Amino acid sequence: MSLTAGQLRHRASTAAVLEFAWDAGAFQADHVIAALGLTRSTALAALDTLIELGLISELPSAGPGEGYRLGRPARRFELRAEAGVVVGVDAGERQFTASVADLAGEILARCSIEVRGFSDAALVRFDDLGPAERPTAALQAIDGALAKLGRTRADVIGLGVGIPAPVDADGGSPSHRAGFWQHMNSGLQNVLDVEFPAVRVENDAALAAVAEGTLGAARGHDDFVAILVGRRLGSGVFLDGRLVRGANGGVGELEGLRYVPGVGSTHGIGPRAERWLRQELDAGRIPADHPWAELDQAGLTAEAVLSAARLDDPVSRPLLEELGATMGRICNVVARFYDPGVIVVCGAMAGALAEVIEIARMQLAADSELPPPEIVASQFGGDIVSLGAVSAAREAAATVALALFSERYHREPPAP
């Protein structure tokens, strides 16, 4: 049965009000009217529909000190966060972490599982890798997190997944000569689309950028780049307020760095720091009383190396200067290609790179012809991809929530 013009207008206004409410927190009808240009009767009709569907809650009216005014108290509303859940999955090479959040984005439960990577400890590829391996792991992590809340897949409105591979707008990844990208993705979009109403698969660095744009240092900026600096370098690029992917999802891969003198590859800050210190230890240039001298092979990690490095320490200063120069070159390339207002350095070790970032800032300011972007460290540490995946899941959920809840309402209307 086709809808009348009035029904179509009501559906459109209801969708617009839900989009407004999705990130608004507590609000009044006047806020909706001012933001969307609706009449009061149209706005209230849409709000009443959303309340009936279970997507919006009406709050107690404002009292003294909360916008109280004489006359009839203003009605107050907010998104009904408990109406469903979204799930963000950080699908790393060797670990999957699923984070379940309510519709407002508050994380309620997490589950992490170890998975087999692409290769063994000697970097020899496993010869029995199967296409179902990673989708199965994703579902196991999701089910594990949901079970902690007594929830099931049926409660999930949106799902976001971050993977270490380029991802195009359709959730697919291109072929990699060694097969790495194909295995990291393994048709995740198609498998998960069967299980959940709205699924968004993205590159992990792209989701780091989503997190920074919605929650972090790039909030309020339309043009910014988030650079993941862990074991490998990757970036998420936002221009004019939109995530930029490219034809094959490769915009943020930074493959061009292999042609930049002094950088030469997409190896991350972590491997560079570890390699530098191993060379210094092998050459006997680290004093026996320096904290670095106590690191054995198992303890020689980037985090341990950087935690004991300071510019005022003559032993560790050369490392920080080298890393700072490298970071400066990387940021210079990114700045010249994308002209961002902000570059956010992300990942588990970002908090230990304050002095490295300061050197990079000075180098960028000296070399840049355009006004240089601000370079800042992310505050989210190793959770950055998980947070971005949850944000992406919420964005995906927002596109289907009205239709999904309308269908449920008409299929199973509440008892009178």
How far apart, in whole angstroms, are the C-alpha atoms of residue 288 and residue 290?
A: 6
Are residues 254 and 225 in contact, defined by beta-carbon separation less than 8 angstroms? no
294 and 371 co-located in one domain: yes
- Count of C-beta atoms within a 10 Å radius of residue 354: 12
195 and 113 co-located in one domain: yes
CATH number, domain at 350?
3.30.420.40
322 and 337 co-located in one domain: yes
Q: Which residues contact 358 (CB under 8 A, 6 or more apart)?
A: 324
**Inside any domain, residue 349:** yes
**Inside any domain, residue 305:** yes
SS3 350: helix
123 and 34 co-located in one domain: no
Are residues 219 and 239 in contact, defined by beta-carbon separation less than 8 angstroms? no
Long-range contacts (CB closer than 8 Å, 24 or more residues apart) made by 1-7: none
Among residues 62, 79, 96, which one ends one of the domains?
Answer: 79
pTM: 0.92
* Tens-place pLDDT, residues 274-306: 999 999 999 999 999 999 999 887 789 999 999
62 and 128 co-located in one domain: no
**Inside any domain, residue 114:** yes
pLDDT, average across residues 373-402: 97
Q: Is the pLDDT reported for residue 63 higher than 80?
A: no
* Identity of the amino acid at 70: L
Pull the structure tokens for residue 223. Answer: 């043009």
67 and 172 co-located in one domain: no
**Inside any domain, residue 307:** yes
* Tens-place pLDDT, residues 299-330: 899 999 999 999 999 999 999 999 999 999 99
CATH number, domain at 62?
1.10.10.10
User: In terms of pLDDT, which residue wins out, 69 or 72?
Assistant: 72
* Tens-place pLDDT, residues 342-379: 999 999 999 999 999 999 999 999 988 889 999 999 99
262 and 342 co-located in one domain: yes
The enclosing H or E element of 196 equals none
Residue 239, class by beta-carbon neighbours within 10 Å (0-12 exposed, 13-18 middle, 19+ buried)? middle
Return the biggest CA–CA distance within the chain: 82
Confidence band of 50 (pLDDT split at 50, 70, 90): very high
Are residues 368 and 140 in contact, defined by beta-carbon separation less than 8 angstroms? no
**Inside any domain, residue 410:** no
Confidence band of 71 (pLDDT split at 50, 70, 90): low
| pLDDT at residue 127, as a whole number | 87
∠ CA 373-375-380 to the nearest 5 degrees?
Answer: 135
375 and 393 co-located in one domain: no
Q: Which residues contact 144 (CB under 8 A, 6 or more apart)?
A: 98, 111, 113
Distances in whole angstroms, Cα of residue 278 to Cα of each of 37, 60, 266: 63, 63, 20
Confidence band of 1 (pLDDT split at 50, 70, 90): low
pLDDT, average across residues 76-88: 96
| pLDDT at residue 382, as a whole number | 93
185 and 267 co-located in one domain: no
Q: Which residues contact 163 (CB under 8 A, 6 or more apart)?
A: 91, 173, 184, 185, 188, 201, 202, 203, 204
| pLDDT at residue 22, as a whole number | 97
Are residues 141 and 105 in contact, defined by beta-carbon separation less than 8 angstroms? no
Q: What is the mean pLDDT of the chain?
A: 93
**Inside any domain, residue 411:** no
| Residue 125, domain extent | 84-215+389-399
Q: Is the pLDDT reported for residue 227 higher than 80?
A: yes
> What's the number of domains the chain is made of?
3
Please, where are the H alpha helices in 312-383?
317-338, 354-367
| pLDDT at residue 297, as a whole number | 78
Closest to 386 (Cα-Cα) out of 135, 103, 86, 185: 86
Q: Which residue is listed with tokens 């002094």?
A: 262
259 and 352 co-located in one domain: yes
Are residues 27 and 76 in contact, defined by beta-carbon separation less than 8 angstroms? yes
How far apart, in whole angstroms, are the C-alpha atoms of residue 187 and residue 133?
A: 11
**Inside any domain, residue 225:** no
Name the percent of the chain lying above pLDDT 70.
Answer: 96
* Tens-place pLDDT, residues 237-269: 999 999 999 999 999 999 999 999 999 999 999
211 and 241 co-located in one domain: no
**Inside any domain, residue 220:** no
SS (H, E, C) 47-111: HHHHHHHCCEEEECCCCCCCCCCCCCCCCEEEECHHHCEEEEEEECCCEEEEEEEECCCCEEEEE
Q: Which residues contact 390 (CB under 8 A, 6 or more apart)?
A: 86, 87, 88, 99, 101, 105, 107, 160
Pull the structure tokens for residue 416. Answer: 């009178």
| pLDDT at residue 5, as a whole number | 76
Pull the structure tokens for residue 226. Answer: 């988030």
**Lowest mean per-residue pLDDT among 62-76, 147-161, 234-248:** 62-76
290 and 318 co-located in one domain: yes
